[in-house]
Amino acid sequence: MKFNTKTIHGGQEIDPAYGAVMPPIYQTSTYAQSTPGGHKGYEYSRTHNPTRTALEKSFASLENGKYGLAFASGMAAIDAVIKLLKPGDEVISTNDLYGGTYRLFTKVYEKFGIKFHFIGMENAKHIESYVNANTKLIWVETPTNPMLNIIDIASTANIAKKHDVLLAVDNTFATPYLQQPLNLGADIVMHSATKYLGGHSDVVMGALIVNSPKLAEKLSFLQNASGAVSGPQDCFLMLRGIKTLHLRMQRHCENAKVVAEYLKNHPKIENVYWPGFEDHPNHNTAKSQMRDFGGMISFTTKDNNYDESVRIVERLKLFVLAESLGGVESLSGHPASMTHASIPKEEREKTGVVDSLIRLSVGIEDIDDLIEDLNQALA
């Protein structure tokens, strides 16, 4: 099945009870048993729920994986991956990544004895120099949030395999429409499905997709044991959102290209971070592992000034100032004070997340209106 068909049919069978075309919302916590253990495959909705099963199959299908798991949030999905580890284990992670991921690693898991190395990953040899006998996981976000760096997944997977280390890729910014990490050798794909997969800014959810039955078993044990699962209504909304993923992503990419070029030519703008530019340092890697360059752009102004950047995001009207990204509507954000505020200033500035950085999630509105909005805000 091709990708554009998978978004609509992947994992979604016609409901056997009444022929419903959309998987019904099984709003139930429990299931009748005829005798202890005598049930139809479902016992309790923390463990399994039919609406969630349909979505989990859809997640797996989109990423060309065998097993999908749905969690209450992207953070809950990441949390399950880290719970595969034990005290003394080490993780090599991208240094430019979502602030909440950094916070989970450093504020929650370091105190349980897990060591994290945050490094630049554009050079695969650099990653290898951090591998030692305790290394158990390489955590990659690509494109990175918010600097839009690109990490070569296949080269990183070679290093992971050579040293028998797991490779997990946060595929939130790219989506499986643009990039499929399991095909490139990753062991685990993670999503904040809150973003492009859901696509309508109405659900918070996380996803994990794997191929290994052993890994699937461990993660599904953790999903049930810790219990951060997504509810049936949210699973239904996610399934509905996914049906247009391919169409939305196409338009996100088209609109972002126009916005990126507009910003690059604007006299007030200093740097524009978007992997589609030929002079982006990782443009060739992006071209080789992604179908297109996505809907996210970050930029700084020549004033390089906190207050001026705050004024710009306040003046934007269509680009609503808000946390999150990936919905049909355009959003703007100020990472230093919002999504990345939990990373110490010295740390975030090392990766380019300066006080003046503005991040745009380019939506699928009419491009003329988006450019007009930027024009008035930058005037």
For ligand P1T, the binding residues (CB under 6 A) are: 73-75, 98, 100-101, 141, 145, 170, 172, 192, 194, 204, 206, 323-325, 339
Where b means 16+ CB within 10 Å and e means fewer, 73-82 reads: bbbbbbbbbb
CA distance 279 to 286: 12
Q: State in angstroms the smallest separation of the CB of 363 from ligand P1T.
A: 14
Note the residue count of the chain. Answer: 379
* Residue with smaller CB distance to ligand P1T, 73 or 93: 73
Catalytic residue among 79, 96, 152, 170: 170
CB of 137 to ligand P1T, least distance (A): 15
Q: Residues 327-364, buried b or exposed e (16+ Cβ, 10 A)?
A: bbebbbbbbbebbbeebeeeebeebbbbbbbbbbbbbb
195 is an active site residue:
yes
Q: Which of 341, 342, 377 is nearest to 360 (CA)?
A: 377
Pairwise CA distance, residues 32 & 42, whole Å: 9
When CB distances to ligand P1T are compared, the closest residue is 74
Q: Which is nearer to ligand P1T, 171 or 220 (CB)?
A: 171
Tell me which of 26, 57, 96, 98 is the catalytic residue: 98
Strand 166-170 and strand 135-141: the pairing is parallel
Active site residue 315: no
The distance of closest approach from Cβ of residue 324 to ligand P1T in the complex, given in angstroms and rounded to an integer, is 5
Among 6, 195, 248, 257, the one annotated catalytic:
195
Catalytic residue status for 170? yes
By beta-carbon proximity to ligand P1T, the closer residue of 276 and 333 is 333
Q: Residues with Cβ < 8 Å from 331, sequence gap 6 or more?
A: 319, 320, 321, 322, 324, 325, 360, 361, 363
- Of 46, 240, 251, 350, the active-site residue reads 46
Distance CA 65, CA 181 (A): 10
Closer CB to ligand P1T, residue 172 or residue 179? 172
152 is catalytic: no
Smallest distance from the beta carbon of 201 to ligand P1T, in angstroms? 11
Residues annotated catalytic, as ranges: 46, 98, 170, 195
